[in-house]
Amino acid sequence: MDPIEEQRLRTIQREYLDFLDDGEDEGVYQDKLKMLIANDESRLIANINDLRRKNPRRTKALQENAFEELMCFQRALRELISATDAIYAKQFEEFFVGLEGSFGGFHLSPRTINSSYIGKIVCVEGIVNKCSLIRPKVIRSVHFCPTTKKFMERRYADMTSMEAFPTSSVYPTKDEDGNLLETEYGLSSYKDHQTFVIQEIPEKAPTGQLPRSIDVIADADLVDQCKPGDRVQVVGVYRCLPGKKGGFTNVSFKTGLIANNIRLMSKEMEPKVSINDLKKIRSFSRQRNMDVFETLARSIAPSIYGHEYIKRAILCMLLGGTEKVLANGTRLRGDINILLIGDPSVAKSQLLRYVLHTAPRAIPTTGRGSSGVGLTAAVTSDAETGDRRLEAGAMVLADRGIVCIDEFDKMSDIDRTAIHEVMEQGRVTIAKAGIHAQLNARCSVLAAANPVYGRYDQYKTPMENIGLQDSLLSRFDLIFVILDNCDMEHDNIIADHVLRMHRYRPANEADGEVLPFASEVDALTTENANDAEKDIEDDIQIYDKYDAVLHGPYYSKKTKFINLRFMKKYIHFAKALKPQLTKEAADIIVEEYTRLRNQDLSQSDNQARTQPITARALESMIRLATAHAKCRMSKTVDPEDSEVAIDLVQFAIFKKVLDKNKRKKDLQKKQANDDNDDEEEIENDKENDEADMDTETVPPPSTPKRRRQSSSTDIVPTEVGSATKRARRQGRKAVGQDDDTPVISQINISAERLDVFKTHLSTVIDRQPSATTQEIFDYMKQHDATFTEDEIRMALAKMQDENQIMLAGEIVIRI
């Protein structure tokens, strides 16, 4: 080497030595050096901000000419360690300097890095997509010559090392005189070598473009620092890598990032919460004049009309339950899974899109665009080395987040089976191609699907319309069936709401301004890597101002809507709580679970339920009650939390919420003897006969008008109980009238009874296009004796008016 060049390198090395030897200053790196020796490590982490403050010239040179500067930096570290502990310095072949801190314009992503950064120190952040196996790489080989009884050694350096000039990779077999050499493997030195691929973070990728990737090379102590699905910040040198054939390449070079330091970003995307925000969160949760849960649920997706119960369920999913790992290794998941199934154009995909923008970590995917291994994990082969690699899927990438799967019904059965383990156990087990591994996939699943026939068939049961396996349905905590019913009043409300959404503009939007896709400010530093978003304003507002165009005339100006930024912080703060289940709340949940199980066994033919009632339903109610307790910032799960959870489960299964009094007495009614029911019916018959003798004409009972709710697009359940008994008595009273008056004209069947009859009729004429009225009468007597012949004829007449069937005398023809 030229003496002048050697003197220049020694000067650079001395400057770095002065930076590390800060005993007369604060002594930060002296303490780090002592910790490095105590922990038996070989890499010292230096903050580039400290170097910039003490020696700006060296900092600029380090970023521009990385290899030469890092080599001098590491030599200075070895010199300092040798002066501190000479024995420890001989234990390692190399000592490394890792960099952290603020890199400014050199803080890049796999999309923004280009050829102008080759040979420079950069910081690239992304998500680990593939990882290779760990292989040993030889640093120094020792050879023995039996003829001359001498040892010789050779050092190796390639384009991935920090040496200025790579050496030849030819393995020596003979010495200079042609004598054969024997390799002493025990005296040779090796270091670990691993390559992995980091991909652009999905939420930061431009809309409509494929995410880009970059290869990372990790050596020595940096191997096995991350696994597929981890979000990392990699500090390293961007360098061209030649091909395998003798170091010669064509004009197209392969590039890679030689890692210098790897920093794991937090699994939980934590928003920045200030002291002022904590005070507002506390005061908001303790308000007595409003229901915090209802206010937050109302503020979810205000641009979507209705679906109150679905919005409450989504809020519970964002909050989550409490995850527990028992002493024997059993894991009780706290993630809540929701399935939305229904007709097209009922805002299923819009709800998924809102969750993508609200949840701190959410991965979108579709049924047709996803396979089983694409959702879980795949084993791939490296084209160059032939090594097996483990590639993470969408659910592994969404660990501690939410996976939104649209068009869930378009997936094949084999692909849907692959996610069974993820939805319940929260992990992916791979045992193929010589690789056995377990990857964490602790994520919630929000799926949207269409019925089997494209639209919901009223004449088939919900289970037939859904068309999914019970083993998969039981893993969903809540399954909502949403229908697009024709109703003039509701259609006018929807049309008015959609038109208002097209006329809505944010208050701060200027004319002709391009709408931003991502307004978050990225932190160009490795410090505070957990801060996923930076608040520009110090003071955050709790409530949004009432907007007549956005919120519409259905809410008053006093109705409160929560600001989205405040909601994100509130959910993040509430999600960290772990409330305890009280005895009173547990008793209510157990009672409801027992009632549902008994109902499932006793009235399975007459119930229009959307999912099977298994032991997982009990855990679902516990998770929902825990999420409601978190929303109240409560340390315990109280009975009111259990009631809210039961209401959600009732609405999801039966599409209606039972009265609390009826719910409490339902078990007692089911345990009554059949003899008592028969005696009650006989007494009712006697009363009806007496009423027939006292009066000639009895006016028909008026059908109570159902209260219209915003969730009227949901299917109405068919439940038989005390309501059907009352309807039966009303039908008998209606029959007891003058013989000259037509019977059918005086009988009015309710909508709920009509739905029950439609379900039975679909069973009769399912396999044949027509049936006689006598066959229908016989079938109803066997399966539901509460229907009289007059009610059946009235129901058939109504169905004919709705063009659902055609009556030809005594023959009923399906249309």
Backbone φ and ψ of 670, nearest 5°: -70, -25
**Rounded average pLDDT over 652-662:** 63
**Rounded average pLDDT over 406-419:** 80
The pLDDT tens digits of the residues spanning 106-150 come to 888 888 888 888 888 899 988 888 888 888 888 888 888 888 888
Secondary structure letter of residue 368 according to DSSP: T
- Given this model, what pLDDT does residue 537 score? 44
Beta bridge partner(s), residue 379: 390
Backbone φ and ψ of 81, nearest 5°: -65, -40
Distance CA 352, CA 357 (A): 9
DSSP H stretches of helix in 632-740 = 639-654, 660-670, 674-694, 722-735
Q: What angle do CA 168, 172, 178 make, to 5 degrees?
A: 130
Backbone φ and ψ of 791, nearest 5°: -65, -40
Beta bridge partner(s), residue 102: 525
- Given this model, what pLDDT does residue 410 score? 81
Q: Give yes or no for residue 524 having a pLDDT over 80.
A: no
Q: Which of 201, 220, 295, 294 is nearest to 261 (CA)?
A: 220
Query: For residues 216 and 236, is the Cβ–Cβ distance under 8 A?
Result: yes
DSSP H stretches of helix in 251-346 = 275-285, 292-298, 308-319
- Given this model, what pLDDT does residue 673 score? 45
**For residue 268, which amino acid is it?**
E
- Given this model, what pLDDT does residue 697 score? 36
Beta bridge partner(s), residue 209: none
The pLDDT tens digits of the residues spanning 343-352 come to 888 888 888 8
Give 480's pLDDT tier (boundaries 50, 70, 90): confident
Structure-model confidence comparison of residues 329 and 793, the more confident one = 793
Secondary structure letter of residue 339 according to DSSP: E
Q: Which of 397, 396, 374, 378 is nearest to 388 (CA)?
A: 378
- Given this model, what pLDDT does residue 464 score? 80
The pLDDT tens digits of the residues spanning 258-297 come to 888 888 876 555 566 677 778 888 888 887 766 788 888 8
* Average pLDDT of the residues of the chain: 75
- Given this model, what pLDDT does residue 713 score? 39
Helix (H) or strand (E) holding 518: none
Q: Give yes or no for residue 771 having a pLDDT over 60.
A: yes
Sign of the Cα torsion 461, 467, 473, 477 reads negative
- Given this model, what pLDDT does residue 535 score? 43
* Lowest-pLDDT choice from 21-35, 192-206, 274-288, 710-724: 710-724
Q: Please state, as a whole number, how many other Cβ atoms lie within 10 Å of the Cβ of residue 744.
A: 14
- CA 241 from centre of chain: 38
Give 245's pLDDT tier (boundaries 50, 70, 90): low
Q: Which of helix, strand or coil describes residue 333?
A: coil
Q: Which of helix, strand or coil describes residue 634?
A: coil
Domain at 110-264: CATH code: 2.40.50.140
The pLDDT tens digits of the residues spanning 550-577 come to 666 666 667 777 888 888 888 888 888 8
Q: Where in the chain is the domain with CATH 2.40.50.140?
A: 110-264
Domain at 3-102: CATH code: 3.30.1640.10
The pLDDT tens digits of the residues spanning 774-790 come to 888 888 888 877 888 88
Distance CA 26, CA 251 (A): 50
Query: For residues 608 and 257, is the Cβ–Cβ distance under 8 A?
Result: no
Distance CA 57, CA 54 (A): 9
- Given this model, what pLDDT does residue 394 score? 80
Q: How far is CA 472 from CA 328, 416, 438, 447, 505, in A?
A: 26, 8, 21, 12, 42
The owner of tokens 């004598």 is 179
* Lowest-pLDDT choice from 256-270, 434-448, 471-485: 256-270
Q: Where in the chain is the domain with CATH 3.30.1640.10?
A: 3-102
The DSSP-derived string for 550-575 is HH-TTS-TT--EE-HHHHHHHHHHHH
- Given this model, what pLDDT does residue 734 score? 39
Query: For residues 257 and 124, is the Cβ–Cβ distance under 8 A?
Result: yes
Burial, 510: exposed, middle or buried (Cβ in 10 Å; 0-12, 13-18, 19+)?
Answer: exposed
Q: Give yes or no for residue 215 having a pLDDT over 50.
A: yes
Those residues with Cβ within 8 angstroms of residue 131's Cβ, 6 or more apart along the chain or in another chain: 194, 196, 197, 226, 227, 228, 389, 390
Query: For residues 398 and 460, is the Cβ–Cβ distance under 8 A?
Result: no
Structure-model confidence comparison of residues 533 and 800, the more confident one = 800
E strand segments, 736-786: 770-772
Torsion region of 664: left, alpha or beta (phi above 0 gives left; psi -120 to 50 gives alpha): alpha
Those residues with Cβ within 8 angstroms of residue 420's Cβ, 6 or more apart along the chain or in another chain: 471, 472, 475
3-state DSSP: the chain helix, strand, coil percent, rounded to 5? Answer: 40, 20, 40
The pLDDT tens digits of the residues spanning 665-709 come to 554 554 454 445 444 444 454 444 444 444 333 343 333 333 333
- Going by DSSP bridges, is the β-strand pair 324-325/254-264 parallel, antiparallel, or unpaired? unpaired
The owner of tokens 């996923």 is 532
- Going by DSSP bridges, is the β-strand pair 107-108/121-131 parallel, antiparallel, or unpaired? parallel
E strand segments, 135-207: 135-145, 150-155, 182-199
Give 506's pLDDT tier (boundaries 50, 70, 90): low
Query: For residues 589 and 621, is the Cβ–Cβ distance under 8 A?
Result: yes
Give the predicted TM-score (pTM) of the model.
0.59
- Given this model, what pLDDT does residue 454 score? 78
- Given this model, what pLDDT does residue 549 score? 65
